[in-house]
Structure 1
């Protein structure tokens, strides 16, 4: 495990230098994923894997042009198509390491939607790796309640209802319902983490 942590720290430092908000986001997402894995009664091995991958889910943004990553306002169609390549870029990077290659599929599919309308491959339901489904909903929860260049911060109530109405669409219904059933736990964690 020490090998993993040393590699991840180096990678996250590189990503954080390029995209300052990413390190805090990835740490919160990783912790939220670990909490959700516990609530789902996943075993220690799966929980540890998902926790590690959550740290690395945005690694593909290293390959995206800074002008797109830092753009104020909405991306145009061409910019959005470029942004959508980041899961594949991330998976390709992880595949270069024998230690991290087992995590690449989870990174590759973390923007798939449960109804098959996500990207890159349009996978649906259980075709999407469990880790990807867990990371997707935690990612949305933190992203919606964070400030981004393209929009203001959203309220926790707004986030809750967005997740609720997208159960079975963007998100796995069972995983999403567990998160919503423990919403106050995740809300308190996010708020506390931003005090640091």
Structure 2
């Protein structure tokens, strides 16, 4: 039987495999999972729920291991067709995780981490509180890290720009309750992710 420590170590092995393939994601899963941990604590979730969300955040992009290198490592902006392929990564990730019964609760959260509160996300167009709460937390933290880091097609946002964008998308892209917590404890999130400020 795996204990919590061994389970966490196994998850880190899996995420490291993805980061070895895609250097661009190096550190991304850690930063997102650390912010998820901070938000989950502030929202008062139980230890078991917090652990579930934290582990799911570590693995949220594991499906990218099934995306062709020509798309995953492309140095410019993706075409619509290429973006359509990238959008398959939550479903690929869920399929991978469902190979192990112990990962089933994580698979459901990973599957929906790109859903939007207004129903315009993917893969299912699920909306509002029908989206698993772990997925809703990851969505906010994933977006923060995407904005706070340089991408092949754009420079990193400033911290202020990122902060304002998260607030602006409250109730559309993101769960407003989670945005409220993220905004209130913004400094904690920045420290958890260890961004240069």
Match of 1:61 in 2: 64
> Measured at CA, do residues 194 and 26 of structure 1 come closer, stay the same or move farther in structure 2, by a change above 3 Å?
farther
Structure 2: runs of 5 or more not aligned: none
Following superposition, the deviation at residue 73 of structure 1 comes to: 2.1
Q: How many residues align?
A: 194
CA contact (8 A) 2:12 2:58 kept: no
Match of 2:16 in 1: 13
> Measured at CA, do residues 158 and 194 of structure 1 come closer, stay the same or move farther in structure 2, by a change above 3 Å?
closer
Measure, in 2, the Cα distance between the counterparts of 1:3 and 1:144: 32
Measure, in 1, the Cα distance between the counterparts of 2:137 and 2:179: 8
What are the within-5 Å matches in structure 2 for residues 26-41 of structure 1? 26-41=29-44
Q: What's the Cα RMSD here?
A: 1.4
Structure with the larger RCO, 1 or 2 (CA within 8 Å, 6+ apart): 2
Measure, in 2, the Cα distance between the counterparts of 1:163 and 1:9: 28
Measure, in 1, the Cα distance between the counterparts of 2:12 and 2:187: 29
Q: Does residue 130 of the first structure (1) align with residue 133 of the second (2)?
A: yes
Following superposition, the deviation at residue 20 of structure 1 comes to: 1.6
TM-score, normalised by the number of residues in structure 1:
0.94
Measure, in 2, the Cα distance between the counterparts of 1:61 and 1:114: 23
Structure 1: runs of 5 or more not aligned: none
Following superposition, the deviation at residue 87 of structure 1 comes to: 0.1
SS of 2:15's partner is helix
CA contact (8 A) 2:147 2:162 kept: yes
SS of 2:102's partner is coil
Q: Does residue 155 of the first structure (1) align with residue 168 of the second (2)?
A: no
Measure, in 2, the Cα distance between the counterparts of 1:37 and 1:121: 25
TM-score, normalised by the number of residues in structure 2:
0.94
1:140-193, Cα deviation, whole Å (9 max, x unpaired): 011100011121111111111111110000000011111011112222333x36
> Measured at CA, do residues 63 and 194 of structure 1 come closer, stay the same or move farther in structure 2, by a change above 3 Å?
farther
Measure, in 1, the Cα distance between the counterparts of 2:196 and 2:18: 19
1:3-62, Cα deviation, whole Å (9 max, x unpaired): 412321221121011112324010111110000001111111100100111000000000
Match of 2:48 in 1: 45
